[in-house]
Structure 1
Amino acid sequence: MNQAPVHESLQPEFRLLVFLVSIGFFMQGLDTTIINTALPAMAHSLNENPLRMHSVVISYVLSVAACIPLSGWFADRFGVRNTFFAAIVIFTLASLGCGLSQNFNELIFFRVLQGIGGAFLLPVGRLALLKIIPRSQFLSAMSMMSLAGLVGPLLGPTLGGFLVEKASWHWIFFINLPIGLLGVLVTFKAMPNVTEPTVKTFDLSGFILLVIAMVGLALGIESITSKDVSKWLSMSMLVAGIVASLIYAYHAHTHQNALFRSKLFRNQVYTIGVLGNFFARLGGNAIPFLMPLMLQVAFNIDPFITGLMMTPVVLGSLFSKPIIRPIVQYVGYRRFLLINTLLVGACIASFSLTNQDTPTWIRTIHFFIFGVLNSLQFVTMNTLTLKDLPQQDASSGNSFLSMIMMLSMSIGVALAGTLLNAFSAYYGNDQMTKAFHVTLLCLGCINILTAFIFKQIPKDTPI
């Protein structure tokens, strides 16, 4: 008779390592959310249009997506400690550069560097725990680390608003300096430099194709309504992104050393899950960027109050965690994702019904419901996508999914910014609320259409 695995509590010698990895997880989680409430203040300080500030979000997220495939190879080749140390140093110095930026282009440059550091923090930290901590204590370690991942997004919006009002937007980046310095000091004490004895040759050509594909698609969509970029250049970037994607698909099929082999997509459920993750996240990932902008630019709400208003989204996400498994067990993956995808789309579209006079209690409940539905969607999609992958494909499949999630976030924000710019130009600056409302309706409709992807999930898919 098989016995269930015993999960031990974390031994003292591993607690400092988990604390160190948690620092990286916290920094990345905080940085992803703290900036959203500060964008209008940053735009004012840098003499930029607030509707152009989505580039600050996209540059970071796109850099993370592009560098995720590098993280595992670097950790195996140069050791987890050396790679993690370099990631924290790059992230911290880039944060200093962001805070000292004197113009928009400087800020974008340092955000790209920050994204490169951020791309290594979480994957390499998780890999370090996997390689160093005994399997019996791994669950306890991951549970402790996940708390840091929840605290960052919970504090981010409110802390961002508070720092903008009480100090300046520069402090949303300077706050990373003491945290990063602590991480640098702890790294050599807590993390041994575990390496792999044999490391396969890095698929450089495949990596270049993936970067061209992601950058071309995201920047092509982002710049298509920009007055500073010609339509010809925007379309050229989009075409380059599509062509690079197609070439990589052939490369993945024929190249034995490809970063992500085409055999991954022989698994029908994995393929549906990846496609669903990409399209269903476009709207859901754009809301944390779009709503603080609407509350401040269209509704004239203060940054700190805006940050407080976004907190129920994270609380809704926390509330959803214990109820996901029983709901999916009761209704099944296919039915759950069909229904919940429609509900998320409807919830995004329903934000277009709010205005400056909407009572705070209604807005709070609205954000909480969105947080619940969005978290249910993301966790269920991720579980469905990875659950049937064979062991030999688990690492590659998980990395590809992580890359797709970050790519979807960057394209979602780019799409939201492009739609907002297009509708604000059409309706005029005096009709800014209407531009936001129509953008939200479009994003909600995209999410609703994603239900057709989840309809392809086999009816007999086991839980």
Structure 2
Amino acid sequence: MRPERLVPLIVACALFMEQLDSTVISTSLPAIAIDLHEDPISLKLALTSYLLSLAVFIPASGWFADRFGSRTVFRAAIVVFTIGSLLCGLATSLTDFVIYRIIQGMGGAMMVPVGRLVILRTVPKGEIVSALAWLTVPALLGPVLGPPIGGFITTYFDWRLIFFLNIPIGLLGVVLASLFIPDIREEDVPPFDLHGMVLSGIGLAGLVFGFALLGQHAVAPWMALSVIAVGAVAMFFYVRHARHTDRPILDLSLLKVPTFFAGVVGASLFRVGIGALPFLLPLMLQLGFGMTPFASGLITFASAAGAMTMKFTAAPIIRAFGFRRVLIVNCFIASVFIGIAAFFRPDMPHLILIGVLLFGGFFRSLQFTSTNALSYADISNEAMSRATSFASVAQQVSISTGVAVAALILDGMRSWRGDGTIQLEDFSVAFTVVALIAVCSVFFFLRLPDDAGAELARKPGSKPAVPTEAPGEMGSTA
């Protein structure tokens, strides 16, 4: 196998471990809640705490990779993630579980963006779309296998075994990284922006965790709002700091690049809608439909199976129609498939549920692949580490916000009724709201020029495959 294909597959080993962990825990949340004597909605903290840790520590990933070498940082990140997985399997309370998930997030914060950085620096731009597809194909095995494996283990064994599965995968990842990952580093690395790291860490933690605390009955609403306010103030001061710093930890000047702005900010709004799905679907199937975790997992895995199928067709689709047209049209299609889940009912044939999730996963994955590739279309190699850090932070913040929004809707609906239980109708409202949030991202893609990402949308060594209609023609046909 060619070296440029081998490196993405090795990085995908780490992504597989992370994605398997995320999808498995989503399926097992109700069972974990019972074992830890917690309300199922309270377990959103297990999801958001991990995403929060990613958002806080990802900004430093690019600098550490430049300073200490990508192989060293990538390998250490896998070790930290594996240790966090072991501790999660030993947790005895929600507090323990949240703390250990944060440790996992610290490893994931370095593992995924550094791996992506290695690919972006070693693969020619004309092959980035294909390389990212190679990267995500094995990683998508995590979401495909996660729900049925997690459901099977939770139903017939113990949910703690889920986290122990990461240990052999982590050991394999360390060996492969040591043998094949290039130790890329920069010669002239600027000083670490500690001031910016503290401000952005407090700001992101306050915003993400504050929204997660809303609806948490163990915490007064004023406390959650105070945490959000602290986060907002810290982010305000970070913006001021970043404007007067040559190399801030999160480089806001990258947003001046139109393709990066659309691929990060626009995609973030889409991910707010998508981030709710791994939280809502298992809860609805288990609490609303009365399914076992195993039965629930067998149905929800269809979404990831559809996503995996798309990875083989992403590059040809983008080459045929161009980034702008694909992002606009596909945004509507993917959002519709999210909203359709609001009409799921317990008496519906399982084949219909699986079919909707299968096609929905296909179109959601096409949107993610397109935005991920477009984000780096006009980024120089020198700025690539800062761009990957920024994009990864935005991704995790938006996904965690989606989980918080979904949980807040469910909690608000049951509080409005006053009976303290979650009804099937509550999920219909939640799916409708998150679908509307996702479709709003189309306004960012409409602003893209017709030839956005043209260099990526061509075969290596060929002329651009993106049509060259006059301004407005491509947008009108979309």
The two structures share one fold, judged by TM-score above 0.5: yes
Q: Structure 1: how far apart are the matches of 2:241 and 2:170? A: 38
Deviations 1:299-318 (A, max 9, x none): 11111111111121112112
* Residues 376-432 of structure 1 deviation map (CA, whole Å, 9 limit, x = unaligned): 221222233322334443332232112111111111111111111111222334561
User: CA 1:387/1:352 → structure 2, altered by over 3 Å: closer, same or farther?
Assistant: same
Q: Which has the higher helix share?
A: 1
- The equivalent of 1:80 in structure 2 is 70
1-structure distance, mates of 2:368, 2:75:
30
**Structure 2 residue identity aligned to 1:436:** F
Match of 2:441 among 430, 433, 450: 450
**1:248 equivalent in structure 2:** 238
Q: CA 1:378 to 1:130, structure 2 compared with 1: closer, same or farther past 3 Å?
A: closer
Counterparts in 2 of 1:116 and 1:332: CA distance versus 1, 3 Å: same
Q: Which residue of 1 aligns with 2:248?
A: 258
- Partner in structure 2 of residue 161 of structure 1: 151
C-alpha separation between the residues in 1 aligned to 2:122 and 2:320? 37
**Aligned-pair CA distance for 1:265:** 2.2
Displacement of 1:332 in angstroms is: 4.3
Distance 1:241 1:303, change over 3 A: same
Secondary structure at the aligned position of 2:447 is classed as coil
Deviates more, 1:51-60 or 1:22-31: 22-31
CA distance in 1, matches of 2:347, 2:36: 30
1:23 and 1:258 map into 2 onto residues whose CA distance is 31
Indicate yes or no: 2:224 matched with 1:231.
no
Aligned to 1:311: 301
Distance across 1 between alignment mates of 2:180 and 2:432: 49
Asked if 1:9 corresponds to 2:22, the answer is no
TM-score by length of structure 2 reads 0.86
Task: Verify: 1:338 aligned to 2:328, yes or no.
Answer: yes
1:144–1:283 Cα change, 3 Å: closer
Q: Distance in 2 between matches of 1:47 and 1:392?
A: 50
Contact 1:10–1:137 (8 Å) recurs in 2: no
Q: In structure 1, list runs of 5 or more residues that go unmatched.
A: 1-7
Aligned to 1:382: 372
Structure 2 vs 1, CA of residues 389 and 433 (structure 1 numbering), >3 Å: closer, same or farther? Answer: same
3-state secondary structure, aligned to 1:35? helix
Match of residue 59, structure 2, among 40, 61, 69: 69
Aligned match of 1:324: 314
Q: 2:191 corresponds to which residue? A: 201
Distance between the aligned counterparts of 2:230 and 2:450, measured in 1?
38
The answer as to whether partners of 1:9 and 1:137 remain within 8 angstroms in 2 is no
**Could you say if the C-alpha distance between residues 168 and 369 of structure 1 is closer, same or farther in structure 2, counting changes exceeding 3 Å?**
same
1:420 has 2:438 as partner: no
Summarize deviations over 1:68-126 as a string: whole Å, max 9, x none.
12222223333334323322221122111111111110000000001101112223334
Q: Which amino acid aligns with 1:303?
A: P
> Is the contact between residue 10 and residue 141 of structure 1 (CA under 8 Å) also seen in structure 2?
no
Distance 2:63 2:115 in 1: 14
| Change in CA separation of 1:282 and 1:76 when aligned onto 2, cut-off 3 Å | same
Moved more, 230-239 or 193-202: 193-202
Conserved? CA contact 2:88–2:163, under 8 Å: yes
What root-mean-square deviation, in Å, do the aligned CA atoms of Structure 1 and Structure 2 show?
A: 2.9
Farther off after superposition, 262-271 or 346-355: 262-271
Equivalent-residue separation in structure 1 for 2:11 and 2:311 (angstroms): 22
TM-score when scaled to structure 1? 0.88
For 1:32, give the aligned amino acid: S
| 1:439 alignment partner in structure 2 | 430
1:274-318 C-alpha deviation (Å, 9 max, x unpaired): 221111111112112210111011111111111111121112112
Superposed displacement of residue 368, structure 1: 1.0
> Which segment is superposed worse, 341-350 or 34-43?
341-350
Give the 3-state SS of the residue equivalent to 1:53 in structure 2: helix
Alignment of 1:41-440 (within 5 A): 41-127=31-117, 145-184=135-174, 188=178, 195-427=185-417, 428-429=419-420, 432-440=423-431
Instruction: Check conservation: 2:61, 2:113, Cα contact below 8 A.
Output: yes
How far the C-alpha of 1:440 sits from its partner, in A, is 1.1
Correspondence for 1:3: none
- In 2 relative to 1, CA 258–226 (structure 1 residues): closer, same or farther, beyond 3 Å? same
Which amino acid letter does the alignment assign opposite residue 438 of structure 2?
A: N
Query: Is the 8 Å Cα contact of residues 207 and 228 (structure 2) preserved in structure 1?
Result: yes
